[in-house]
Amino acid sequence: MKNLFTATIVTVSLMSGAAPAVLGAAGQAQTKSKPAATITRKGVIKTIDETSVSMAPNDNKKATMTFQLTPDVKRTGSLEAGAPAAVTYYLEDNRPIVTEIAGSKK
C-alpha cells in the first residue's frame, strides 16, 4: 500500500509539472538536485582572512582572484600569504561558492 501511495504522489507531481521528488524517511518530499561540477584553481595566496582569500593563479601571476569564504569551507594545510594553495568551488548564479581551500602541508 505504501508503494502505491508513493507512486501516486510521484505521478501527480510529474503530471502537475513539478520537479521529481522522493519521499524521505518522515514522508516529506525532497527534491533531487544535480550536484554542481567543481572547479579547482591553484595559485599563490596574496591575502587571506576568515571571510575571503585573494590569490594569484598559477596561469596568470599578474591577475588576482578573490573568493568569499564561509564557515562551511573546508580548510587544510598552511593558509598564509605567499603560500601555494588550491581553491575548489562550484558556480551558483555565476558566483563561485567555495567548498575547500587547501594550502601547502605544514
pLDDT per residue as tens digits for the range 23-37: 455 555 555 555 679
Q: 88: how many CB neighbours lie within 10 A of its CB?
A: 16
- Residue-wise pLDDT for 57-80, tens only, equals 998 878 999 999 999 999 999 999
Q: What is the pTM for the complete model shown?
A: 0.65
